Amino acid sequence: MSAPEPAKPTHNEVIKTAIPTLAGNIAATMADPAADRFSEDDQQFIKFHGIYQQDDRDLRKTGKKYMMMIRGRIPGGVMTSAQWITFDNLATQYGNNTLRLTTRQSIQFHGVLLSGLGALIKKINESLLSTLAACGDVNRNITASPTPAHTRARELVYTDSVRLAEALAPQTKAYHSIWIDGVQLKLDDPAHKDFVDPLYGRTYLPRKFKAGLVIPPVNDMDIFTNDLGFIAIVEGDQLLGYNLAVGGGMGRSHGNVQTFPRLADVIGFLPPEKVIEVAKAVLTIHRDFGDRTNRKHARLKYVLEERGTDWMRDEVNRRTGFALGPVRPYEFTTTGDLYGWHRAVDGSLFLTLFVETGRIKDVPGHTQKTALRQVAEQFPHIEFRLSANQNVILANVPERDRAGITALLAGHGVKVDNQASILHAAAMACPSLPTCGLGLAESERMLPGLIDRIEKLGGEIGLGGEEIIIRSTGCPNGCARPYMAEIAFVGKAPGRYQLWFGGNASGTRLNRVFKDTIKEADVEAELRPVLTRWKNERQPGERFGDFAARVLWPEQAAAATPQPTAN
């Protein structure tokens, strides 16, 4: 009997091997005045350049209207006021006049036509930011805790995030050639055959790779959802080093039990000077051992799940030439942001502003986009920081500017106190429809109204004012980290969602499916009996996610266990 043939590489692997510069035929398409979209192969290449090709799905009945989503690479989510103004200008001139904050401390532009794409990316680079590697089979935007209220060591952690972003960036010159110089690299150019990225090789990674840094006790980065996580160990103002977390990821597929969300494992401790070496070791482990025959099985989390933490630790030690130390003690207490005005450890002020579902826009009575632009213009010395909870922080604010900023925002209907109800303030959603091609159900457009309904239900039950972390996504890929929420709605079809219960406030526990399919219209009927039980059966101070894990999970397990039949 002959041995089975080895599985073939995916098409993405084939085209990356053929064109390791990642240039594709992008420049030729950009130079064609009649073009309105990229080819199927180039749709994969443009992701490495920070671009997704989409269409307005609300208009599909009358024909596809192609447009681009562009994502900035903003290490640690830190922007100057001048950079904020640039992004605001670009959203108005080339996009849909909104700025979409992501769960990875970045900004997305939506609705950009091919004709405006080149100018938008060039101006982002002129602002000293980039879109290179914001998407694609590479390390994505590096995240780092943005809140400056806890320790001066935060600046060291942020510096490490910038160092990592530079060290893990792909080295192809095609990005600069296409978007900055406007030079077309032809498909038969020898550079395609000769180029090998010094870190990623010819074929880059099997799938995307996400990395972040976090400072306990605040797990605002949801660090265990990353492929690579650095948990800062701080003593006083001194950064002693980092605990290393490896192998997290949210993505899964409906009906495919071989795919699942996974929390990263904490496997050791390293001093700060070893951050780059260790990051490269973990990334190249993904490069060398990740599955290149099945993209649904290609994330680093599956390598770790199948080979184990001991193997991973040994492999990191081998590649770095030094041994990771024992894990240092740490504790997480919350994943949330500090809303309103607060004082940083250096004496300056910072203001965290709630952004509903991450979409900065102007609507009657709440012109948040205009307000933030005017803040950037009138207070150019302050810093804009993006949070991984889809909010914006105005940092390094002198005491003398507090009243002026508060008054400016108030003039646009933007509050600094009591900005949102407790459920809205803890919620997140992915964009989904109408722009995301993967969306199966509404998310961003659905969630605010759904939370209003849940708040009304809670008031009827007697649970008003209780925080519950609620997240929604339009598909199972997990862009808003739904599998960490206390309650999550994961899209399955128009108006239909999986219902997940049981995450916790510290971001250290995955939730589980409670019901495989519910209708959006039936949310109150589905939640009322469960929330009523929580009110009546909870332990003192017990959150809903903890109640679900303590009471509902065991009940589900017992119900699913076959019972012996009587003889």
DSSP 436-494: -TT-SS--TTTHHHHHHHHHHHHHHHT-TT----EEEESSTT-TT-GGGSSEEEEEEET
Q: Residue 445 catalytic? A: no
Find the radius of gyration of the CA atoms of the chain: 24
Point out the catalytic residue in the list 16, 479, 492, 543: 479
400 is catalytic: no
Task: Catalytic residue, from 47, 104, 207, 210: name it.
Answer: 210
Q: Beta strand pairing status for 66-71 and 107-112?
A: antiparallel
Catalytic residue among 16, 73, 140, 543: 140
Residue 325: beta bridge partners? 269
| Nearest Cα to Cα of residue 13 among 293, 200, 267, 263 | 293
Q: How many residues would you count in the chain?
A: 567
Whether 140 sits among the annotated catalytic residues: the reply is: yes
**SS3 for 170?**
coil
Q: Which of 154, 207, 208, 301 is catalytic?
A: 208
Q: How many CB atoms lie within 10 A of CB 367?
A: 18
Would residue 135 show up in a list of annotated catalytic residues for this protein?
Answer: no
Active site residue 173: no
- In three-state secondary structure terms, 14 is helix
| Of 369, 475, 492, 509, catalytic | 475
Confirm if 44 and 12 have CB atoms less than 8 A apart: yes
Q: Which residues neighbour 439 within 8 Å (Cβ) at sequence distance 6 or greater? A: 57, 431, 432, 433, 474, 475, 491
**Residue 186 catalytic?**
no
Helix, strand, coil in percent for the chain, rounding step 5: 40, 20, 40
Residue of 73, 359, 430, 471 marked active site: 430
Marked catalytic residue, from 385, 436, 471, 509 = 436
Q: Which amino acid is at 527?
A: L
As a whole number of angstroms, the distance between CA 502 and CA 506 comes to 12
Please, where are the H alpha helices in 252-296?
275-289
CA angle (102, 141, 431) in 5-degree steps: 20
How many other CB atoms sit within 10 Å of the CB of residue 193? 13
Tokens of residue 226, six digits: 């990353």
102 in Cβ contact with 444 (< 8 Å): no
Distance from C-alpha of 412 to C-alpha of 367, rounded to nearest angstrom: 5
CA separation, residue 254 to residues 297, 393, 560 (Å): 14, 36, 20
- Enzyme catalytic residues: 71, 140, 208, 210, 430, 436, 475, 479
